[in-house]
Amino acid sequence: MAGRPGGFKRFRSLLFLVKLSEVIYTITQALYFGRILSSCLPYQTNTITPDTSLRYVTQNTHMNKYLKRGLIIAAVLGILLYAAYLFMVAQTKKHSPEETVNYNTNGYGIEVFYNRPSKKGREIFGRLVPFGRVWRTGANEATTFETSTDLTIDGKPLKAGKYTLWTIPDADNWTLMFNAKQYSWGVNRNGVTREAEHDVLQVKVPVESVGNVVELFTIALEDRGGKPVLALIWDQTRVAVVME
């Protein structure tokens, strides 16, 4: 995954916040239903005396007070946690900003959404992004590819729709994979979130070398003779495939 030393730490922090929010939500639910249950408990009518009735009311008042405090504390923690989550997302986006590119020519309607990690003096392909392993093709969320018309890519059909775009970089060629499932994030603690059974198209694309170093990972929708070209460029590596 791109930017593993810093990006993976930020991802683990986000994952921790999500898990913590689940715990707080569970506690809040338990407190809430505990309060409802306590209010529904019946008096034992055959043993009630003025003294026991007063004791019950006092205990129930104390219980409701503690439950109310617990709910307030859980709500405050939830708000703070959500604020911290938004801050972490903002910091992650700061390092790998969002980008959307479009191609709307000759009846085509294509849109790609992705995040742009930086080289920052690092060796990218074969090191930061390992060869032979699935890459989310950017950073943060899974990269998405949407087309309003049916396409043919490398002689293979791709129906109109929205896909997530995954790649397997290698020294001589890349495998591009169009996946029918949408994923909220590109990786989790087990690796990339892609589920291979939802792949609808895979194509092999040869690697080209570019003269200048490209600092930010770039996805471009170029034009070649009135046909769209999907190009992926980073560092001194470029892969491109014509679509029709």
Q: What is the pLDDT of residue 3?
A: 40
Domain range for 25 is 4-94
pTM of the predicted model as reported, rounded to 2 decimal places: 0.67
Q: What is the largest CA-CA distance in the chain?
A: 93
Q: Tell me what the mean pLDDT of segment 116-145 comes to.
A: 95
Query: Is residue 70 scored above 80 in pLDDT?
Result: no
Q: 3-state DSSP call for residue 61?
A: helix
Query: Is residue 50 scored above 70 in pLDDT?
Result: no
Do 42 and 115 belong to one domain? Answer: no
**What is d(CA 136, CA 216) in angstroms, rounded to the nearest whole number?**
15
Do 125 and 9 belong to one domain? Answer: no
Beta strands, E only, 142-198: 144-147, 151-153, 156-158, 161-168, 173-179, 187-188, 191-192
Domain boundary among 94, 118, 150: 94
Query: Is residue 66 scored above 90 in pLDDT?
Result: no
% residues pLDDT > 90 (the chain): 55
User: What six digits make up the tokens of 104?
Assistant: 């709307």
Owner of token pair 């129906």? 159
Q: What is the pLDDT of residue 49?
A: 55
The pLDDT tens digits of the residues spanning 188-211 come to 777 889 999 999 999 999 999 999
Query: Is residue 82 scored above 70 in pLDDT?
Result: no
Of residues 44 and 231, which shows the higher confidence score? 231
Query: Is residue 35 scored above 90 in pLDDT?
Result: no
Do 236 and 119 belong to one domain? Answer: yes
Cβ-contact 177, 167 below 8 angstroms: yes
Q: What is the pLDDT of residue 8?
A: 46
C-alpha dist (Å) from residue 233 to 207, 209, 238? 10, 9, 4
Do 120 and 82 belong to one domain? Answer: no
Q: Tell me what the mean pLDDT of segment 16-30 comes to.
A: 63
DSSP characters over 12-57: HHHHHHHHHHHHHHHHHHHHHHHHHHHHHPPP-GGG--HHHHHHHH
**What is d(CA 44, CA 35) in angstroms, rounded to the nearest whole number?**
19
Sign of the torsion formed by the C-alpha atoms of 151, 153, 159 and 160: negative
Query: Is residue 27 scored above 90 in pLDDT?
Result: no
Count other C-beta atoms under 10 Å from residue 215's C-beta: 14
Do 143 and 172 belong to one domain? Answer: yes
Instruction: Give the number of domains in the chain.
Output: 2
Domain boundary among 30, 61, 94: 94
Cβ-contact 178, 196 below 8 angstroms: no
Domain boundary among 74, 94, 114: 94
Query: Is residue 5 scored above 50 in pLDDT?
Result: no
Q: What is the pLDDT of residue 36?
A: 52
Query: Is residue 217 scored above 90 in pLDDT?
Result: yes
Phi, psi torsion values for 125, nearest 5 degrees = -80, 130
Do 88 and 101 belong to one domain? Answer: no
